[in-house]
Amino acid sequence: MGKPDNDLRRIVSNGGLARVMAAHDPLSAMLVEEAGFDGIWASGFEFSAAQGLADVSLVSMAEHLNNLRNMAARTTLPIIADVDTGYGNAINVLHTVEQYEAAGASAIVIEDKMFPKVTSLVAGGRQDLVPIEEFQGKIEAARYARRNSDLLVIARVEALIAGLGADEALKRAHAYEQAGADLILIHSKQKTPDEIESFINAWDGNIPITIVPTAYPQMTEARARALGKVGILIYGNHAIRAAVTSMQKVFARIIEDGGIQNVNNDIVPVSEIFRLQRMEDVKENEKKFLR
13-43 as b/e: b if 16+ CB within 10 A: eeebbbbbbbbbbbbbbbbbbeeebbbbbbb
The CA-atom distances, in angstroms, between 135 and each of 3, 117, 157, 190, 207 are 26, 14, 10, 25, 17
Residue 109 to residue 120: CA distance in whole angstroms: 14
Peptide bond into 26 cis (omega under 30): no
- Nearest in space to 233 (alpha carbons), one of 209, 211, 201: 211
Q: How far is residue 284's CA from residue 288's CA, in Å, rounded to a whole number? A: 6
Number of DSSP helices (H) and strands (E) in the chain, helices first = 12, 8
The three-class DSSP label of residue 202 is helix
Catalytic residue among 5, 7, 38, 55: 55
Which residue, 169, 156, 159, is CA-closest to 210? 156
In angstroms, the CA 109 to CA 201 distance is 22
Name the strand (E) or helix (H) holding 102.
helix 90-103
- The answer to whether residue 204 is catalytic is no
- Residues classed as catalytic: 55
